[in-house]
Structure 1
Amino acid sequence: MEAKIELMGLMAVRCAGIVYHLHGAQARVAFARLALAGPEGVTRHELADVIWPGALPPTWASALRTLISRLRAFVGPLQSHPVNPLVKRGGRYVLALDGNVLIDVEEAMRAVTDARGALDAGDFATADRLAAAAADRLRFPFLSEHEGHWVAERRERLTEYLVTALEVAGQAAMRSGDHPRAALLAEEATTRGPERESAHRCLMAVREAMGNRGEALRAYQRLRRHLAEEFGVDPSPETEAAYLALLGPASAPAVPSGGAGGYRHRPVPFVGREQQMTTVAGAWSWATRGRRQFVLVTGEAGIGKTRLLREAGAAVAADGGLVLVGRCDEGAMVPYQPIVEALDGYVAASPDDPLDAVSPAARGPLRMLLPSLGGPCPSGELPEQPVVFAAFAQLLTVAAGERPCALLIDDVHWADPQTVALLRYLLRAGADTRLCVVVAARNDLPTSIRRRVRGCMDEVMLPLEHTGEGTEVTLGGLDFAAARMLAAELGTAAGTADGDPVRWAHARSGGNPYMLLEVLRHQAGPDAVPPAVARLVAAKLASIGQDATRLLQVAAVMGPSFGFDTVADAANLDVLAALDALEALLEIGILAEVTAAGSQHPDRAAVYEFRHDIVRQSVDQQVSDARRRHLTSRQQVVPGAGHDTEHRLSRTGAERV
């Protein structure tokens, strides 16, 4: 006979289609204590302490005997045989139930554990179903009319299970693409467990996956404020790392596991940047001793600048430092965007009013600029620049006065001149503060933007470089050993014609981590270009101009390496226009000039090649059939084209003879 005990909500026993209710608060708490004790049972004093959590009444022993008699009558229908399940063994009361009697609390707890296992295994549908069912049961109150230590402890444990169930269901829903439902579940988890950091991390991930980075940041700020107010502590390094992850590009919506999707959800290890991290760590060490530092991180798109900033921020947080994060967006509407974002996050997460520590003259401008204080106001209404700069400097000094501070700014190549001027002012004003500023900028942008960025960064860097307080870190492609380590930790098992998928992916990507990962994930053939890489290349081509695009298309059709005269003629460009186009492509890092060490022909014309072979393939695939036929016919009539192998180099840079 199957029976079920329901302890959550209105306590009941369901047996053979009949529902039995137990009346009386004392009887219900005693029954719950016995049901959850299992085969170990409880002593009469343990049971009495639960029933009468204060002082025991003088007649408690006889009252307990009467209560036990009532419970024996209540649980009688649970057994198919005549022996009553409520027995006394070795001085302990035991509710000896058959194996087919289920208890809702225990079922829900097992379901949460199983749901977590299903989520870890990538079975999102099962995880969602189990966690949602458990949450539905655990939302009911537990012995709401009773108090006492045992009841309070049990409620706290059940709440933890409920929050876990909501987290698991939220993560499963997010990874299945149901973001609105995932957000509702994660919000409920943070409401029921405001100090539960994993719940807040779940909410941050959902909001970021929905493309609402602002709400994700606010979820972090609410957690940080709550922890500071209630416990006087900071978020854990894991939560700080999740916060720093918001610095990066917006995430694509989660996809179910299996194939490339399951691989995509695996955390990407951080490899091959030991030297660069040592440089940043050295700058941070000097900053903690009161010597301001500035670190400029440069590299092409996808090379790992954002990840380096994120890892640096995680290291700072683990060291007890304060991490402030901002980013620059192209054409940003908010004045001084990255500094506003960074300091607003500090203000929003501070349990006290940070403006109490700044001068009255600085409070007005800060209220006009920081969203947490009522800003931002229209730029035309802002005070004069010196007033704004001084206000920001005061607030940053306050922040760095609490503990050493790292200000991380991503995509600084989009910074407007006013933001660069503010950054320069903050570094000058913070000469004696425990401040380390780390910014990241692309070096593969069109010439006009690149020169502007370089000029702005030189304005910031040069005075600090002279005093040993400024450092530039340039990121190149990962070497093969790092690529091998990356693939091994991710467990990639793609196969290729030569049997070495990592070497093949590394050769195609040139060690660019973004392209390398996409090649490893996208296993559709040796010449297939992952869609994400194709979009990245298309964005680059959109900024290089018509002549450069024509030259690049000719080069892609010709092959990995080529001579200048050949492609210029085939593209039907005059020499000066072709040179301008070639220089633009070299400056943004799509092409590279190849030289052969120890060449026996010093007068031989230079040879050029694509820096990343997958970029060449992407450009080649964007060439229409009509244009390809035209370029092929042009190549055949250009003198020496297509058969001047003495002018070509192998992909390793050695001369072909």
Structure 2
Amino acid sequence: MRFGVLGPLAVWTADGASVRVPEVKVRALLADLLVHHGRPVTAARLADDLWGGDLPGNPTNTLQTKVSQLRRALEGAEPGGRDLVGYSPPGYLLRVEADAVDAGQFVTLTARARAAVDARERAALLAEALALWRGPAYVDFADEGFAREAATRLDELRLTALEDHAEARLELGEHDLLADELGPSVAANPLRERLRAAQVRALYRAGRQSEALASYGQLREILAEELGVDPSPDLVALYHAILDQDPGLHAASTAGPRARDNLPAARNDLIGRAGELAETLDRLAGAA
């Protein structure tokens, strides 16, 4: 059985059939267990997450009822499904492997992509990872405290993957497509400098220099107005390279090793940390 949290909460059987988990509190229980990624959650914590200050008269019994409903839903979908919801002192847990959850698959694919040298392989892995997303992480429970931090971190990882993907595609010479495709993402995340830099490079390489400069100017204004800061040195260098029509800006490669132009690469604190990325789900669970 597989589980999805990269968008609305979803459950699928091994053959891909959708599994209906009835009742809001039962779905919230499942989401809470997925947030904790195989770690036991006490009954008191689950009751507080599900009902907050409006606890039922007998929260322990009511929680046990919700657990039974979840077990029945999973068992009805696939024999043995009820055993996925277990109890191990001090609490309940969901017994699933990381790759049975789309978030776990996403982390694995992005870690593999960052370890790859070949730009085409990186782009393919990142495209596969990004295709797992069906909306914001844990979107059904965006207002619930138990999911908020995990959702925020996963959404941040998605944006980083989107930036990595754009840079890999720039290395492959796909600037014409990127110049338009990145527009909505930049508009939705106007302060993301790596994303903006990829768009500016794509626009310039596509022969749209005025639009590239306008995009940079927009970022500079937003940073000044909202944060009172200037663009990073890397973006300033990119801006001046465009003004000078630096030939290095057109460097692209369709071969294995990643090509570099003569400008500093955008900073990325996650490069070279594939092992740490593979532990992201455990860190999210620990922070919950």
| Normalised TM-score (structure 2) | 0.77
Matched, 1:126 2:125: no
Matched, 1:138 2:137: no
RMSD: 2.9
Does the aligned pair in 2 maintain the 1:111–1:131 contact within 8 Å?
yes
Change over 3 Å in CA distance of 1:255–1:101 after alignment to 2: closer
Deviation of the 1:154 alpha carbon: 2.8
Tell me what 1:169 maps to.
165
Change over 3 Å in CA distance of 1:16–1:186 after alignment to 2: closer
Does the aligned pair in 2 maintain the 1:79–1:85 contact within 8 Å?
no
Tell me what 1:183 maps to.
179
Does the aligned pair in 2 maintain the 1:174–1:254 contact within 8 Å?
yes
Deviation of the 1:108 alpha carbon: 1.6
Matched, 1:227 2:227: no
**2-side partners of 1:238 and 1:46: how far apart?**
46
**1-side partners of 2:210 and 2:10: how far apart?**
44
- Report the identity percentage: 27
Does the aligned pair in 2 maintain the 1:5–1:104 contact within 8 Å?
yes
Deviation of the 1:230 alpha carbon: 2.8
Tell me what 1:108 maps to.
106
Change over 3 Å in CA distance of 1:77–1:257 after alignment to 2: farther
> Which structure 1 segments of 5+ residues have no match?
270-657
Letter of the structure 1 residue corresponding to residue 149 of structure 2 = E
**1-side partners of 2:16 and 2:133: how far apart?**
23
Give SS of 1:93's match.
Answer: strand
Give SS of 2:32's match.
Answer: helix
Greater relative CO, 1 or 2 (CA 8 Å, sep 6+): 2
Summarize the alignment of residues 49-88 of structure 1 with structure 2, pairs less than 5 Å apart.
49-52=48-51, 54-59=52-57, 60-76=59-75, 84-88=83-87
Matched, 1:153 2:153: no
Give SS of 2:100's match.
Answer: strand
**2-side partners of 1:102 and 1:87: how far apart?**
16
Matched, 1:4 2:2: yes
Change over 3 Å in CA distance of 1:158–1:83 after alignment to 2: closer
Larger Rg: 1
Change over 3 Å in CA distance of 1:39–1:188 after alignment to 2: same
Matched, 1:214 2:213: no
**2-side partners of 1:58 and 1:268: how far apart?**
61
**1-side partners of 2:81 and 2:211: how far apart?**
61
Change over 3 Å in CA distance of 1:263–1:49 after alignment to 2: closer
Summarize the alignment of residues 575-614 of structure 1 with structure 2, pairs less than 5 Å apart.
none
Summarize the alignment of residues 489-500 of structure 1 with structure 2, pairs less than 5 Å apart.
none
Does the aligned pair in 2 maintain the 1:166–1:185 contact within 8 Å?
no
Tell me what 2:268 maps to.
none
Change over 3 Å in CA distance of 1:23–1:79 after alignment to 2: closer
Moved over 6 A (4+): 77-80
**2-side partners of 1:256 and 1:145: how far apart?**
41
Give SS of 1:20's match.
Answer: coil
Does the aligned pair in 1 maintain the 2:8–2:137 contact within 8 Å?
yes
Does the aligned pair in 1 maintain the 2:84–2:95 contact within 8 Å?
yes
Change over 3 Å in CA distance of 1:151–1:216 after alignment to 2: same
Letter of the structure 1 residue corresponding to residue 184 of structure 2 = E
**2-side partners of 1:263 and 1:164: how far apart?**
18
Question: Once the two structures are superposed, what CA deviation does each residue of 1:610-633 show, in whole Å capped at 9, x if it has no partner?
Answer: xxxxxxxxxxxxxxxxxxxxxxxx
Tell me what 2:26 maps to.
27
**2-side partners of 1:233 and 1:150: how far apart?**
34
Does the aligned pair in 1 maintain the 2:251–2:259 contact within 8 Å?
no
> Which structure 2 segments of 5+ residues have no match?
265-288
**1-side partners of 2:85 and 2:258: how far apart?**
52
Tell me what 1:602 maps to.
none
**2-side partners of 1:89 and 1:44: how far apart?**
11
Summarize the alignment of residues 76-475 of structure 1 with structure 2, pairs less than 5 Å apart.
76=75, 84-97=83-96, 99=97, 102-118=100-116, 121=117, 123-146=118-141, 147-250=143-246, 251-252=249-250, 254-258=252-256, 262=257, 264-265=259-260, 267=262
**2-side partners of 1:31 and 1:256: how far apart?**
44
